[in-house]
Structure 1
């Protein structure tokens, strides 16, 4: 097939293929340029920084354990607690800085209603962190 000729016949359609050779040549030239210039871009400046050592001052907030037995009695850090004093203790714990974590321990026989009431009272008092303590299965 000839690309150009002296034949002026109108029987041939225009060529609709893209010539890829010039594009490949440009791509190879750019690849070589980038391969040469890339190591030059990693040049670093050597400076002598001062050395300082410090341990982070992390304060671990205390934890408050609120236990409930099967009869619905409450225990604040293993000390008996009356139901009327619960709101005051929770408000004091919520006002402390940093705020302690509230760990709830409930007996297997504890009614869910009692657990829900204690959780609701803790949220109303402003306790942010609350978790459950369970005994792992053996």
Structure 2
């Protein structure tokens, strides 16, 4: 919009250079709506077959503890059933006997992580530093 003076002596109209932005705003709003509608259509998931992890079996030392946890919260020390209260003295005695002893944890896949973490915490407090998980790749 051009603003002129209210002076009546100057009746001559001068051309003004201004941009009409209304059509530009209309075009931008239409493009915005188009992008809002088409953006969710462009995001699609791609199914990928990831490779299975494979490793060579570790050669275990003869002095190790096989500790198993089952999904019913039962615990086994080298195949012998134990309770959670018996773990701390057993771990301490094993570390006292052999400081380099390894703990091999074999947990069922439906065991709550709470039980595994509690057993690992008790073992670490007793002084076990070599703690590992045993997996069976043939059951996958």
TM-score band, normalised by shorter chain: 0.5 to 0.7
Give the structure 1 partner of residue 91 of structure 2: 90
Structure 1 segments of 4 or more deviating over 4 A? none
Contact 2:65 2:101 in 1 (8 A): yes
Match of 1:116 in 2: 117
Question: Aligned partners of 2:113, 2:129: CA distance in 1, in Å?
Answer: 21
Where does residue 75 of structure 1 map in the other structure? 76
Q: Distance in 2 between matches of 1:132 and 1:79?
A: 18
TM-score normalised according to structure 1 size = 0.53
Output the CA distance in 1 between the equivalents of 2:116 and 2:94.
18
In 2, the alpha carbon distance for the partners of 1:130 and 1:105 equals 11
CA positional deviation for 1:87? 0.6
**Matches of 1:122 and 1:76, distance apart in 2:** 13
Quote the offset at 1:95 in angstroms: 1.1
Root mean square deviation, CA, Å: 1.5
- Does the CA contact (< 8 Å) of 1:94 and 1:126 recur in 2? yes
What are the ranges of 5 or more consecutive residues in structure 2 without an aligned counterpart? 1-60
CA contact (8 A) 1:61 1:100 kept: no
Aligned 8 A contact 1:61 1:98 in 2: no
- Note the 1:44-83 alignment, pairs <5 A: 60=61, 62-83=63-84
